[in-house]
Amino acid sequence: MWPCERLATIDSTQRELLRRLTSAPSQHQNPFGLWTTAQTQGIGSHGRQWIDSQGGLAMSLGWPELLTPQPAAPDPAWPLRLSLAVIQTLEEYFQLTDAMLGVKWPNDIMARGSKLGGVLVSRHQIQGRWWLIAGIGINFSWPSPPDINRPVIALEDLGVSQAPSESIVMALSTAVEGLYQHAERDNAKAWVDEFHRRDLYANQRVVVIHPVSGEPLAAGRNCGVIHSGALRLEIDGAERLIEVGELSLRGDRAA
């Protein structure tokens, strides 16, 4: 099991894990994690701010990439596979049988149509070795809704009263370790099908928007993903693969 250290508070588990790796590379040869329920300046996708809910779980797990030869770029399917692993773990751990947990391409964790959490995967070269850092943020409670342009939900809204603790961190860490161990052997079709089954916007007409500017980039029917993590968008009867973007039903951020 990967060791995960609890931090009373931290700006960002993602940043802290990277700081530890870069400040003492020789002390880190093996995977490890950091977690807190009091993150103050979380990082979201595309450099955006991640607003932590009250008591929300913030965890980051880092591991050296073992693939040889080392690929030039990180596997873009990681965020999708990680989102699936997170929702399966949350459902099992909290017995969320009717919470309708799902995903939204590429890295949103959804429940009842609103955002419950998100994942963030980054890759860093440290003394010649590539490390992957997987961040997981799960909302626990919103005493007052955050000022962001999209609906959010928290575990408390799903009937979970148990605050994030060591044991859910261990369950999530075990799930990520499983992904890491099977990354090369995994049957892509199984997770690709599962992503489509869990995709909140599956088969719907969607607008792909630019993740930073919010500008619409393309519109069409969401036909699922391929093993590389790209989205299959059907536009005027032809399929196009979309590598980067976010999904909206109406073409604005508040979808």
Residues 6+ apart with CB under 8 A from 106: 79, 80, 229, 231, 246
DSSP letters spanning 111-135: ETTEEEEEEEEEEEEETTEEEEEEE
Build a one-symbol-per-residue string for 82-111: x at contacts with ligand BTN by CB under 6 A, - elsewhere: -------------------------xx---
- Cis check for the bond before 106: say yes or no (omega within 30 of 0): yes
Quick one: which of 199, 208, 212, 222 has its CA closest to 250? 208
Give the residue with the Cβ less far from ligand BTN, 19 or 182: 19
Query: Which residue from 12, 37, 83, 248 is in contact with ligand BTN, where contact means CB under 6 A?
Result: 12
CB nearer to ligand BTN: give 111 or 136. Answer: 136
Helices (H), the chain: 13-23, 78-94, 166-182, 188-198
Size of the site for ligand BTN (CB under 6 A): 19
Among 110, 120, 168, 176, binds ligand BTN (CB under 6 A): 120
Q: How far is the CB of 42 from ligand BTN (least distance, A)?
A: 4
> Which residue of 31, 106, 135, 229 would you call a contact of ligand BTN, by CB under 6 A?
135
Give the CA-trace dihedral at 87, 92, 96, 102, to 10 degrees: 20
Instruction: Tell me the residue type at 154.
Output: A
With binding defined as CB under 6 A, does residue 211 bind ligand BTN? no
Looking only at residues 44 through 73 of this chain, which bind ligand BTN when binding is defined by CB under 6 A?
A: 44-45, 50, 58-60
Torsion sign across C-alpha atoms 39, 248, 244, 188:
positive
Q: Which is nearer to ligand BTN, 43 or 85 (CB)?
A: 43
Q: Binding to ligand BTN by residue 43, rule CB under 6 A?
A: yes
Tokens of 238: 């032809």
Nearer to ligand BTN, 164 or 220 (CB): 164
Please report, as ranges, the residues that interact with ligand BTN according to CB under 6 A: 12-14, 42-45, 50, 58-60, 107-108, 118-120, 135-137
